[in-house]
Amino acid sequence: MLAQERRNHILERLQEEKSVVVGELSQRYGVSEETIRRDLDKLEKDGYAIKSYGGAVVNQNVSIDMPFNVRKKRNVVGKQKIAEIVSEMIDDGDHIILDASTTAVFIAKAIKDKKNLTIITNSIEIMIELSDVPDWNIISTGGSLREGYLALVGPRVVEGLRTYHVEKAFISCKGADLESGFTDSNEDFALTKRVMLSRAKEKVMVVDSSKIDTVAFAHIGDLDDVDAVVTDNKPSKKWLDYFKENEIKCYYPQ
């Protein structure tokens, strides 16, 4: 197993169990404890973990993104629930925008039975996922590839998006808070998502319940900038009351 692959496995364990132990990891991967300590040093340097005596704990800072291949394995059931709801919101012939989130990848998988869709996205993963779907128009935003994200970012993305008008945009976030609104881990992604929302008649935020009541680094927009929110669990009363008072539709599994 390559060192990067091993570190990704360790990250997945950190996501699931919140902490890891050097001795256990050494036995699991058949490498020395010193090798595992170097892995944990690298994960701490990248901001993903915090070393502790005999191991490490996950860094809970919501403004720090895990690698794409790690994030897409997190809360799979919740993302599938969101994707199922979103699929019912999309009609044959729609023009839609999908961002470069792992949730959007699940949406792409769930809507393959639709006819004659136009998809605009900055996600390399979604472009690959939909590359063999007949009669669809898949449009790349252009831009520069951001390492570790399978996402296109930068001014070319913004320029490309501003040439389109679509029926629906489905955008994710790292945090949703009643006071701070929708936030993301960095400015590039926040700006891209803000522009994506501006190009759609119907603006939909897809956010799994682990992101509710959290605040990340960069502001995407206010809560009332969207028409609807789709999540994987029934929100608390304070959120349902807010949505009702501000005429924001909220969809969740019944």
Higher pLDDT, 25 or 64: 25
Question: Are residues 98 and 215 part of one domain?
Answer: yes
Average pLDDT over residues 135-146: 94
Asked if 35 and 137 sit in the same domain, the reply is: no
Q: Is residue 65 part of a domain?
A: no
Choose the weakest-confidence range: 37-41, 217-221, 222-226: 37-41
DSSP H or E segment with residue 121:
strand 118-121
Overall number of domains in the chain? 2
> Residue 135 domain-assigned?
yes
Indicate whether 160 and 217 sit together in one domain.
yes
102-110 and 76-89 helices, crossing angle to 10°:
50
* Orientation angle between helical segments 33-45 and 3-17, nearest 10 degrees: 70
Q: Do 44 and 123 belong to one domain?
A: no
Q: Angle, nearest 10°, between helix axes 22-29 and 33-45?
A: 110
pTM of the model: 0.81
pLDDT at 249 exceeding the cut of 80: yes
pLDDT-derived band at 183 (thresholds 50, 70, 90) equals: very high
Q: Output the CA–CA distances (angstroms, integers) from residue 228 to 42, 57, 231, 247, in the order listed.
A: 40, 35, 10, 9
Distances (CA, A) of 182 to 48, 99, 186: 22, 14, 12
Q: Classify residue 131: in a domain, yes or no.
A: yes
Asked if 138 and 23 sit in the same domain, the reply is no
pLDDT for the residue 147: 73
